[in-house]
Every structure is written in C-alpha cells, then in structure tokens.
Amino acid sequence: MTISLAGEVVVVTGGAVRLGRAIALECARAGASVAFTYNQSAAQAARTLSDLQATGNGEQRFASFQADVSQSADVKALVSAVQNDLGGATMLVNNAAIFRRTPFATMTEADFDDHIAANLKGPYLLCKYFGDVFLAQEHGSILNIADIYALRPLKNYVPYCLSKAGVVMLTQTLALALSPHVRVNAICPGTILTPSEIQDEDDAEAQLLPKIPLGRLGTPQEIAQTAAFLLGGPQFISGAVVPVDGAQRLR
Ligand SMILES: NC(=O)c1ccc[n+]([C@@H]2O[C@H](COP(=O)([O-])OP(=O)(O)OC[C@H]3O[C@@H](n4cnc5c(N)ncnc54)[C@H](OP(=O)(O)O)[C@@H]3O)[C@@H](O)[C@H]2O)c1
C-alpha cells in the first residue's frame, strides 16, 4: 500500500533528531507539509529543516518551531504559528519525550515531575489544542509515540514507564472522545537505535539482541513507515496501540 499524505499538514514534536526526524522526513516523502518542534537542539533542527526542504515538490511547506511541550503557552503559540505559516495542522505526532534511568534507591520527586511533564502533560496539551482544531475542521489524525515499556515494566525506569502507560490511555480515551472525525493511534517502539549509535554501542547491542526474537534492533525508518501508515493508511484504524519491536515485548 502506497501511503499518500499529500495535502496534509503534519506537526511532529521533537522532530530535529532521531525518531522524530525520521518521521518528519517520511511524512514529507509521502507528500505532506511538515512542521516540527525542537526544544534545545537548534542546530540539528536547522539541518532537519534543510533536509525536509530538499525532499519537497515545491507545493509542500516546511517549518520548525522552538517549543517546550510541557508549557501550555508554548503549545498554544505553536498552534497559532502553524496556522499562520502553513495554513493549519491536520495531523499531529507526539514524539518528544525524555528517558532517564531512575533506579528506585535514588529516584526523586523531580524525576516523576520531569517525566510526567514532558512525556504525558505535553502530549495531553498538544492533543487538546490541536484536537480542538481537528474537531472544528472535522478532519485530523493523531499519533502518539509510546513504548513497549508502557505495556510491561522496566525495572529502573519507574517514572518513564508511568508516563508512557499514560500515553497509551490518552490514545485510547481520545480515540473515543474525538471520534468520528479524528483518529488517534499509538506506536510502541521496542529498542530502536540509529546507525551511528549501533556502531558506537556494540556492547549494548550484544546485550540487547538476545532479548529481541527477530534478532536485531529496530530502525528509525521502520518507526517512520509505521507512523505514515497509521496517519494516512486505512481510515478504519483508531485507538490502536501498535508494537514495532521485533516481538521484544514478549520476552
Ligand atoms: N529510541 C528508542 O529506542 C525508543 C524506544 C521506545 C520508545 N521511544 C520513544 O520514541 C520517541 C522518540 O525517541 P528518541 O530516542 O528519538 O527521542 P530523544 O532523542 O530522546 O528525544 C526526542 C526529542 O524530544 C525532545 N523533548 C524532550 N523534552 C521536551 C520538552 N519538554 N519539550 C519539547 N521537546 C522535548 C528533545 O528535543 P530537543 O533535543 O530539541 O531538546 C529531543 O530531541 C520518544 O517518545 C521515546 O520515548 C524511543
């Protein structure tokens, strides 16, 4: 199935680097105009914007915006900026997140607050304010990037797992609340590393591979292709929580 996002305006949070960058580029390749956010990675954002512009067909528009997704003022300003610069969003990918190792003995209240703010409050605010736009125009699609560790626990990552479990429930409740005109889905990636990280982290890879039945790490491109499919593929998919993990969640 060839996915076309022609005519859509996709907003990707945390789109300057890694998975968010791959998702932004894949949406552009599928014909969408793309706005992405960054928080601190201004240099990487400039590079991603330039790479997006190089993929465009002349009718697509591209923009990057600085925003802290946990701040409602930033999210409201983003909605307005996308309206002004790209004519309004039709699709949203909540990708930005933090991921910190927080063993029980040393985890703090700040660890909880930081993960909930970036990983759950952020997607909540973006879904609320872009969801209002999508409902008003009776057209929209939302994709939340969760994690297989929203579905099963990861011992030394309590606040992260809590935040991502919330993202799964956000997806499912909003699939009901925003129907019938707006679809809401989630991807639960397994362990995904970029090619440079795989080269740099041979030891980590060796430790991880036995846990992944398909015998390899996932790639950002595989997450991005799934994102394009859930955004622009069969229009009967909503409330789906899709693992892309080489069956890692089953081990
Ligand atoms: N990589 C994996 O193996 C993996 C596995 C499972 C799930 N995931 C999920 O997939 C998504 C992408 O993963 P990744 O590894 O590519 O992510 P990442 O590189 O760790 O982070 C993505 C971006 O999130 C942005 N961000 C963090 N807090 C923010 C805030 N408060 N406001 C705005 N932006 C904020 C950062 O932007 P700036 O750099 O601009 O500050 C960062 O570049 C995340 O939701 C992650 O939890 C990843």
pLDDT tens across 133-169, in order? 999 999 999 999 999 999 999 999 999 999 999 999 9
pLDDT-derived band at 207 (thresholds 50, 70, 90) equals confident
> Which residues touch 35 (CB under 8 Å, ≥6 apart)?
9, 10, 11, 12, 62, 63, 64, 65, 81, 82, 85, 86, 89
Give, using CA atoms, the residue closest to atom 27 of ligand 1: 97
Domains in the chain: ranges and CATH? 9-243 (3.40.50.720)
Per-residue pLDDT of 36-95, as tens digits, reads 999 999 999 999 999 999 999 999 999 999 999 999 999 999 999 999 999 999 999 999
Pocket probe for ligand 1: among 65, 94, 99, the residue whose CB has the most ligand atoms within 8 Å is 99
- How remote is the CA of residue 95 from the centroid of ligand 1, in Å? 6
- How remote is the CA of residue 97 from the centroid of ligand 1, in Å? 4
Is residue 206 pLDDT above 80, yes or no? no
Pocket probe for ligand 1: among 12, 13, 18, 167, the residue whose CB has the most ligand atoms within 8 Å is 18
Give the ligand 1 atom nearest the CA of 193: 3
Q: What is the pLDDT of residue 204?
A: 67
As a 3-state breakdown, the chain gives helix, strand, coil percent values, each rounded to 5, of: 50, 15, 35
CA pair distance 122, 134, nearest whole angstrom: 18
Give the ligand 1 atom nearest the CA of 217: 3
